[in-house]
């Protein structure tokens, strides 16, 4: 495991209003908590990003990006080799329609090519030239997914966090809330209240959503549905597919096809 601590960039707000960079993180690399003065569109051409901010976690495959507002502390873990493309936006140039919290972005074929092209644009590009138009078009092409299942609230109470973290590491764990209560030293009622108050979800709903979040990048990578279902604790692929449909509105097979267009 490689730990990477981004350095504070002096004069980060200097330069063009929108600029881009590229970076590669090997599998397992952890980018430690940091913040930027600019907003970011964080996109991986390949590999899957696990991103954390506050008490929330996102699993972001190449079919998606994540908008990260300015000044928000966040971290990243590379799942596979991550070929990162990041677009930084000066806070004064962030459109008023942009969300004030991290939000998933759907990647169209056009937006993908624009993000790939952006990292080759020099920082002294003329704002009224072709390169300036590309940067402006990137901001206009963002398609927000506010109801997508990519975000997973973790909560702040250490007893709740312990349960959530354990289930992310072993999503096939089928312990009941009462069994988790014995492990964490809290009653089942207390844990149920913490899930409701800090994640907005019931324990069962949170565990199912966690399994969807963990399954999405594996489905996108083409892993067999039967293997994914077994790894997530389902007895049959059909049981997993039924749960997946309830959360995403479509079966895993169609989900792959829709993301490849």
Q: What is the pLDDT of residues 77-108, one digit of tens each?
A: 998 899 999 999 999 999 999 999 999 999 99
What is the pTM assigned to this prediction? 0.81
Do 220 and 258 meet the contact criterion of CB atoms below 8 Å apart? no
Distance (Å, whole) CA 138 – CA 123 = 16
Give domain limits for the chain.
3-144, 154-259
Distance (Å, whole) CA 59 – CA 77 = 10
Taking CA atoms, 83 is separated from 2, 61, 86, 133, 200, in Å, by: 16, 11, 10, 24, 33
Distance (Å, whole) CA 85 – CA 98 = 19
Position 166 confidence tier, pLDDT thresholds 50, 70, 90: very high
* Average pLDDT score, the chain: 90
**Domain 154-259 of CATH type 1.10.10.60:** yes
Task: Compare 55 and 217 and report the one with higher pLDDT.
Answer: 55
Which pLDDT value is given to residue 216?
Answer: 80
Average pLDDT over residues 145-160: 85
- Residue 227 corresponds to which tokens in the numbers above? 């293997």
- From 114, 125, 72, 109, select the one nearest 258 (Cα to Cα): 109
Do 25 and 84 meet the contact criterion of CB atoms below 8 Å apart? yes
Q: What is the CATH number of domain 3-144?
A: 2.60.120.280
Statement: residue 19 has pLDDT above 80: yes
Q: What is the pLDDT of residues 197-221, one digit of tens each?
A: 999 999 999 999 999 888 987 887 7
């Amino acid at each position: 495991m490689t730990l990477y601590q981004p350095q504070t960039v002096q004069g980060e707000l200097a330069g063009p209003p929108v600029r881009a960079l590229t970076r590669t993180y090997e599998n397992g690399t952890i980018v430690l908590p940091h913040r930027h003065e600019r907003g970011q569109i964080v996109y991986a051409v390949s590999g899957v990003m696990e991103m954390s901010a506050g008490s929330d976690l996102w699993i972001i495959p190449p079919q998606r990006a994540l908008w990260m507002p300015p000044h928000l502390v966040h971290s990243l873990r590379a799942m596979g080799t991550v070929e990162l493309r990041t677009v930084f936006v000066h806070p004064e140039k962030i459109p008023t329609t942009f969300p004030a919290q991290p939000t998933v972005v759907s990647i169209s074929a056009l937006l993908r090519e624009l993000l790939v092209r952006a990292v080759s644009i020099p920082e002294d590009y003329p704002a009224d030239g072709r390169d300036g138009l590309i940067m402006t078009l990137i901001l206009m092409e963002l398609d927000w997914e506010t109801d997508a299942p990519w975000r997973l609230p973790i909560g702040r109470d250490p007893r709740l966090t312990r349960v959530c973290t354990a289930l992310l590491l072993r999503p096939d764990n089928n312990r009941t809330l009462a069994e988790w209560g014995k492990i964490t030293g809290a009653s089942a009622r207390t844990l149920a209240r913490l899930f409701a108050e800090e994640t907005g979800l019931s324990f069962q709903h949170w565990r199912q959503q966690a399994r969807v979040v963990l399954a999405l990048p594996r489905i996108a990578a083409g892993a067999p549905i039967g293997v994914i279902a077994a790894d997530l604790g389902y007895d049959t692929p059909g049981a997993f597919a039924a749960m997946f449909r309830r959360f995403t509105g479509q079966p895993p097979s169609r989900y792959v096809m829709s993301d490849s267009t």
